[in-house]
Structure 1
Amino acid sequence: MESETGTTTRKTKRWPKVLVGFLLGAVVVSGCLGILFPIQTLFYLAGGWFLFLKRVLPSVSVSLSGIITAFAFLVLMAVIIQLLGTFLIRNVRMKTDMTPLSGWRIRWTGFCLLLLVVAFTGGFAVVGVAHQSAWIVTASEGIIGLASGHRGPGRKERSQRKLKNIAYETINFASGAEGNRFPGGSISSTGLPLHSWETELLPYLGRLKYYQQIDRFQPWNSKTNAKLFQKPIREFLMPGSEWPEQNNQGFGLSYYTLNSHISGLKERASLNRIPDGVSNTLLGGEVVSQLRAWGDPVNFRDPALGINSHQEGFGGPWQQRRGANMVFLDGSARFINENIDPEILKALATPHGGEDVSTFLEGR
């Protein structure tokens, strides 16, 4: 009997070693075969909390009022627990014939308060784990983004596809427009801003019926049109559920805009008159600051302001590689680093500057 028990105990102790050995072997084999998904999964599970804190802590601010409020809350809870404990002990003494209990002790209150703090902190930990798990699955820097070859494209690639689609339809619009002009903001005869280039693009994005409901003689945010422009248009939204779809006024936002040297309220470039060449001139790109509604007639920006360097400039949310997806007049898209030479960026922004950008474009 004792021998059988000893054998069972040894087998039980051997299982963890076998499991660890199997996992390590699987990781080694995956690495040799170039399959990085299991390794990335283990890495994020082991060190994901550090990455989460690294991204979150810089945005956390500690205020004196918050500390005072927390301290006052703890004191209040301690008083309530002490009073409740004393009340319960008194009732037990009165209703039972058991040996009289001693009074409620302060250290018991401290223990209950500690349990309360641990439970509260545990709740935050659960939220943090859920947030990090979602980030691992959805972020372009997470597992799906890094393993896009196995699990589908990351959000940066999806955003670039959206931008290219906007570019193609913008070019289609210009090809059929009078003077081959690009879409832009429209104004009334009295100078009142009416509609945006994105409104003009709706029929080309498969939203003809929606476009026909808009009163184009009334401003986009008038009582007549406001409800229509409160609807977010998915073609103009950044991939990812954490990005707001509406502004504070309830209007649908746009995360893409056009080059102000190409599109504007009064001046619009012609597709047939781009001296620098359509492959050397920027049409537009991503924006993540000072967002405007998709119906706003002045939703265009100057790329020369830089990438991620100006509130009214272009920019992307990507952390692994800092920069933004930009698209050219020939419909090609490229991720441009935020550290690009400002003079080159300015040259790419202007359609008739005559600058030499061949060195920059060699890698396209």
Structure 2
Amino acid sequence: MDTENDTGTKASPYWTGWIVSLGFILGFVTLCMGLTFPVHALFLLLTGWTSQAMQLVNEGSASLPELVSSLLLIAVIAVLLHFALRVLFRRYTKQSEDMSKTWGWQRRWSLSLVVILALLVVSGICVLGISHQTWQLATSDEPLLFKSGFTAARRSASKNNLKQIGLAFHNYHDAFDRLPVGGDFNRIGEPQHSWVTHLLPYLDQGSLYNQIDFSQPWKAEVNRSPFETRVYVMENLGVIHRFENGKRRAENQKGYQPSHYAANNQILNVNTGMKLRDIKDGASDTILAGEVSTGIKAWGDPTNFRNPQLGINASPNGFGGPYQWGAHFLLVDGSVRFISDDIDPQILKALATPNGGETVGEY
């Protein structure tokens, strides 16, 4: 028996070491894959209640006299509890026939009891906080699963979309020696077709482009079918997950399909498309297009352009991403940058204008 016990004792640390090592390896691989949601979930569940506690502390306005009075009240309650328990204990020991000697109720027992009660109160607050945090995570608009690793994947997909759009712009420019117009309007000001429509052949959508009757406006009945077709490169997965919880509802499958990206109206506007050589401020310092998450228009809408100077995530008619702190933008040189929404307005103005002559600093 002693041998078996010794063997079990020696084996326990061995298997514990293997389990801990395996846990570290799996955690490292998970983090490398960008799937940080298990650690994120555990962290939020264990610490999420602290925000509520801090909020209660900040909302409280207890003065020093009130704090002293509260401590004195707790001390009085503790003393009364001690004497009450002392009397009850003495009565119990007198009635007990098995006890040959009686002891008085000790002060340390009362103190221990008070500490235990305080810990129970604090534990109750923690349990309520964790329950609240769990409910908030379970019922939030965006599932916890998509708040970490998959959020990075969707942001990467959006950047890739913008890079494809940038390549299409440059291929169009190579073919026509200018960028497409922001929107075609006829002589009487009626909207015809958008910059996205002109880029379709360079977005691997040649067959869709050939279905469009350019002699008719984009909303003409003859053009309804092609403009109700999804162009996936114009859809930002982050916007879909933010507003539809990752699912395209049946009613959104019908009608004119959206574009989650808009052009810079300083470069593409009504019947206006610039040449790259006319952008004097530099292709790497000028915005060409960017993410939008409000006021979303159809990809066939000839008015799908905006002014970056309205700010980022600051106006329903401006640019903005589906995530916090900023949005992705396509620059004229084809690169994609994430620009914070707290960028200096003067720098944002310099990035928006193609020939403003402003100096673009760090951003």
The TM-score range, normalised by the shorter chain, is: 0.5 to 0.7
SS of structure 2 residue aligned to 1:258: strand
Task: Show the counterpart of 2:348.
Answer: 345
- Give the 3-state SS of the residue equivalent to 2:280 in structure 1: coil
Aligned to 1:276: 281
Distance 1:341 1:45, change over 3 A: closer
Match of 1:206 in 2: 204
Partner SS for 1:204: helix
User: Which structure has more RCO (C-alpha within 8 Å, separation ≥ 6)?
Assistant: 2
Query: 4+ residue runs of structure 1 moved beyond 6 angstroms?
Result: 17-21, 50-54, 129-132
1:360 to 352, 359, 362: 362
CA distance in 2, matches of 1:49, 1:229: 46
Q: By how many angstroms is 1:266 displaced?
A: 3.0
Q: Deviations over 1:92-121 (max 9, x none)?
A: xxxxxxxxxxxxxxxxxxxxxxxxxxxxxx
Task: Mark the CA change 1:19 to 1:259 in structure 2 (over 3 Å): closer, same or farther.
Answer: farther
Tell me whether 308-317 or 262-271 shows the greater mean CA deviation: 262-271
Q: Which residue of 2 aligns with 1:156?
A: 155
Deviation track 1:152-176 (CA, whole Å, cap 9, x = no partner) reads xx21111111101101111221232
Map of 1:128 onto structure 2: 138
Structure 1: state its 5+ residue gaps: 55-123, 147-153
Residues of 1 paired with 2:260 and 2:156: CA distance? 15
Return closer, same or farther for 1:129/1:276 CA change in 2, 3 Å cut-off.
closer
Give the drift of 1:35: 6.6
CA distance in 1, matches of 2:26, 2:338: 30
How far has the Cα of 1:239 moved from its partner? Answer: 2.3
Which residue of 2 is the match for residue 168 of structure 1?
167
Q: Residues 15-55 of structure 1: CA distance to partner in whole angstroms, max 9, x if unpaired?
A: 9x998765444344667x7873699454245346689999x
Q: Structure 2 unaligned runs (5+)? A: 51-133
Aligned equivalents of 1:156 and 1:271: distance in 2? 28
1:79-94 alignment runs, 5 A limit: none
> Which structure has the greater CA radius of gyration?
2
Structure 1 partner of 2:39: 43
1:200 to partner: Cα distance: 0.7
**Change in CA separation of 1:130 and 1:353 when aligned onto 2, cut-off 3 Å:** closer
Q: d(CA) in 2 for partners of 1:187 and 1:51?
A: 56
- Please list the CA deviations of residues 66-93 of structure 1 after superposition, one character each: whole Å capped at 9, or x if unmatched: xxxxxxxxxxxxxxxxxxxxxxxxxxxx
Cα pair distance change 1:29/1:161, threshold 3 Å: closer
Q: 2: distance between equivalents of 1:207 and 1:174?
A: 17
Q: Are the counterparts in 2 of residues 188 and 217 from structure 1 also a CA contact under 8 Å?
A: no
Work out the CA distance in 2 between the residues paired with 1:279 and 1:360: 13
In the alignment, is residue 196 of structure 1 matched against residue 200 of structure 2? no
Give the Cα separation in 2 of the matches to 1:215 and 1:19.
71
The question of whether the paired residues in 2 share the 8 Å contact of 1:324 and 1:336 is answered with yes
1:287 matched to 2:292? The reply is: yes
Partner residue in 1 for 2:93: none
* Separation of aligned partners in 2, 1:267 and 1:323: 28
The CA deviation string for residues 130-180 of structure 1, in whole angstroms up to 9 with x for no partner, is 998x642xx3x423556xxxxxxx211111111011011112212322x52
Give the distance between the partners of 2:49 and 2:326, measured in 1 at CA: 23
Which residue is equivalent to 1:239? 237
After superposition, the CA RMSD in angstroms is 3.9
TM-score by length of 2: 0.63
Separation (CA, whole Å) in 1 of partners of 2:14 and 2:219: 66
Corresponding residue number in structure 1 for 2:224: 226
Match of 2:31, as an amino acid? L
Corresponding residue of 2:307: 302
CA distance in 2, matches of 1:129, 1:221: 39
2: CA distance between counterparts of 1:159 and 1:204?
18
Q: 1:30 to 1:248 in 2, by over 3 A?
A: closer
Tell me the SS of whatever aligns to 1:226.
helix
1:189/1:242 Cα in 2 relative to 1: closer, same or farther (>3 Å)?
Answer: same
- The 5-angstrom pairing of residues 179-194 of structure 1 reads 180-194=178-192
Identity over aligned pairs, percent: 34
CA distance in 2 between counterparts of 1:166 and 1:184 reads 14
8 A contact 2:162–2:290 mirrored in 1: yes
Contact 2:183 2:302 in 1 (8 A): yes
Contact kept, 8 Å, 2:329 with 2:339, in 1: the verdict is yes
CA contact (8 A) 1:287 1:316 kept: yes
Counterparts of 2:280 and 2:14, CA distance in 1: 69
Name the aligned partner's letter for residue 36 of structure 1. Answer: L
Q: Is 1:334 equivalent to 2:337 in the alignment?
A: yes
Structure 2: distance between partners of 1:213 and 1:259: 27
Instruction: Label 1:259 to 1:242 Cα distance change in 2 as closer, same or farther (>3 A).
Output: same
Q: Is the 8 A contact 1:173 1:182 kept in 2?
A: yes
> Aligned equivalents of 1:221 and 1:353: distance in 2?
36
1:314 aligns with 2:319: yes
| 2:225 aligned partner, one-letter code | K
Please tell me whether residue 259 in structure 1 is matched to residue 255 in structure 2. no
TM-score (norm. length: structure 1): 0.63
Superposition deviation, residue 270 in structure 1: 1.9
